[in-house]
Amino acid sequence: MTNSYSSLCDDFYLDMYINTELELPSHRDTILAFFERIQRQFSSMGCFYHRENNQYCLEEDQSTGRYRWVNLESDRIGSGIVNPASFEQAYDQDRLVLELAPYMLSVSHLDINSLDVAFGMDFDYAGSHDEVIAEALLANSAFSCLWDLPCARPIGLSPAVVIALSDDCRTQARINIESKTSVCEPRKQRQADDEAISLFFTIRQYPPTAGRFDALASFENQCRLAEELMAEKIVPNFVRPLIDVISQKRLT
């Protein structure tokens, strides 16, 4: 399926995370062998580095604006693409990581705490992010009564909601919108090169309490759910209002 979401935002990304109960292997040979196997499949991923928080990352050149990445943290494996041409382009990489994790990183079905599939969008805006979020998403809510107070204005809005999608609550969806406007300096005009308003929509699956957790099968189901809910709920009710308010404010 072609990715049409890039036309709605300044950056779109599709990520997957395997959250583990135990710490991942930290031996040099294990880490390098894992990333070398990833690179054999995606030869353009040539940037490898180690961060201070004991995170290892392999990625493509970021300067192109469209790049793949895979990283290892102490208890999490991440995989994603920024501005993918299609969903399948991202999913193929994620499937490879899921297939390699058991035998290259010793991640068994018992070790998986949860599996996340996340859609992300960035919206560049040089003004107050909090005011955009308030007007786009909370104008008709109970919170709006607070803005009628003398000199009141929103200066700290990053709303987030988690809902259960199954009777056992082990399948969950999370929507959160992040403002990057500083609470300490609400009156300071943001510059064009500042960070963007970010929207994240995540489908998280916890393993069942009985039986073996099939991570690949769960991943496919989570991708289907994420695509359906993005199209039916998130874009019309969250993305479109944000786009409309940002457009209006840029004209004033």
Domain residue ranges in the chain: 5-251
86-114 exposure pattern, b = at least 16 Cβ within 10 A, e = fewer: ebeebbebbbbbbebbeebbebeeebbeb
Segment holding 136, helix H or strand E: helix 129-137
Q: Walk along the chain (252 residues) in steps of 10 and give the mean pLDDT of each run.
A: 84 97 94 97 95 92 94 97 94 97 96 97 94 93 88 89 97 96 58 76 96 96 97 97 94 81
C-alpha angle 129-238-81 in degrees, rounded to nearest 5: 85
Separation of alpha carbons 173 and 164, rounded Å: 6
> Is 0.85 surpassed by the pTM of this model?
yes
Do 41 and 96 contact (CB within 8 A), yes or no? yes
Cα 152 to chain centroid, rounded = 32
pLDDT for 194: 60
